[in-house]
Structure 1
């Protein structure tokens, strides 16, 4: 019989994970994949001769709701969380569903659960950030509650590990591909995002049994996921459903713990 997974095991796995999610989210937030912020800066610097046309360009670009634009600044918490879940969540759900091409065979491996848990944990950190919750311990407790139905003691979640250097090294290793991508290309590529997501998922292998508790779609999503090739579609829809569920659970948890958070 396998040894029972204790809260301390969950915390040990989640602390480096949460710390690595911060640069991952920064990369997704600051990457400006469509060049919208750059174009707006060029327009505002006068690179368009016609002032009327310049104003139209600036207005069109800044009305797009992506981080760093005026439209983003005017969004409330729910709208920003929705952006993370619906825009970034589509990418992470797609990456998570790829193992579903193998149908039932792929489901026998922990690949999808590790990728799915990594995606959901990443989005939970993004949601926590929009609520003003930035400390590692609180995010660990949020993920443990929403994904694993565990109520982790705040002291245990927020306490310094016995080997701080080991945790520092583990967190840095999880984001190596992001660092290399920025160095080589000046931006974060989709390949680097996918590779980092895989590393994040792999870091949770020590608590594999817990990963099965996460929201993974309804029964018909899972049934479709057992079919080779088209299983990817079922897995994608299941992951999208799961992300919406974690958003609801996260909101409930964050509001229930609002006595220490920086929002009302």
Structure 2
């Protein structure tokens, strides 16, 4: 029988993971692939000079687009913004996570599905935490441990306040996890989809040290899992299962953050 994974082991894995999720989310938030943020800023300046007419209507439509960095985004509540992350980023990560399902049962025997799925869910939790004003690594570690692994981690332990904590090693591991993201931003000035996918895979591999815990994370129902066992169409079952899991993660995160007003201030 495998030795039980301790809270200290979970924290040692989650702290660099959380630190690496920060740059990943910044890249997704600031990439602005359609130029909506820049256009929103330009049109906000023009709006002062326009009182009526078609241009005013177009500008109003533009500023109503709810993406990070726009005026409409700023007017949304933390709950609504976290919902946006679940639907938009969730689709992207769930699709990547479902790709191993192309191999059916063979792929499901490997830890690929759980590692990528847990990385996707952890990334979403960090995004949701940010929209609720939770920025410190320790609280995000507690959130992930509670939502994904049903563990109540001590605040001091999660914050790295213990004798065995190695800050330098933690920072080095976080930098390693985001190497592809950093390289992409230097070369292209932004994070490419390939770099984002590669970083998600690295984040997943970073969780392999606590593989036993990954099996506890929210996932799809029996129908999703049964469909995921089939060749080719297994990808569809896995995708639906991961989407279902992300929705459950979102609900649990809202409940946890609401129940922890001090951490979520």
| Structure 1: unaligned runs, 5 residues or longer | none
- 2:11 match: 11
Shift of 1:43: 4.5
- 2:224 match: 221
Contact 1:142 1:250 in 2 (8 A): yes
- 1:30 match: 30
Large movers: runs of 4+ above 6 Å: none
Contact 1:44 1:54 in 2 (8 A): no
Contact 2:138 2:155 in 1 (8 A): yes
Task: Provide the C-alpha distance between the structure 1 equivalents of 2:211 and 2:229, rounded to a whole number of angstroms.
Answer: 20
Shift of 1:52: 4.8
- 2:175 match: 172
- 1:117 match: 118
- Relative to 1, partners in 2 of residues 1:69 and 1:227: Cα closer, same or farther, differing over 3 Å? same
Contact 2:40 2:71 in 1 (8 A): no
Task: Provide the C-alpha distance between the structure 2 equivalents of 1:195 and 1:16, rounded to a whole number of angstroms.
Answer: 17
Equivalent residue of 1:32, what SS?
Answer: coil
Indicate yes or no: 2:88 matched with 1:82: no
Shift of 1:208: 0.3
| Structure 2: unaligned runs, 5 residues or longer | none
Equivalenced residue count is 260
Between 183-192 and 206-215, report the one with greater CA deviation.
183-192
- 2:129 match: 128
Contact 1:144 1:151 in 2 (8 A): yes
Task: Provide the C-alpha distance between the structure 1 equivalents of 2:212 and 2:60, rounded to a whole number of angstroms.
Answer: 50
Indicate yes or no: 2:207 matched with 1:204: yes
Indicate yes or no: 2:149 matched with 1:148: yes
Contact 1:40 1:57 in 2 (8 A): no
TM (norm. structure 1) is 0.93
Task: Provide the C-alpha distance between the structure 1 equivalents of 2:55 and 2:185, rounded to a whole number of angstroms.
Answer: 31
Contact 1:20 1:171 in 2 (8 A): yes
Shift of 1:225: 0.3
Equivalent residue of 2:213, what SS?
Answer: helix
Task: Provide the C-alpha distance between the structure 1 equivalents of 2:58 and 2:220, rounded to a whole number of angstroms.
Answer: 41
Q: CA RMSD in A?
A: 1.7
Contact 1:181 1:189 in 2 (8 A): yes
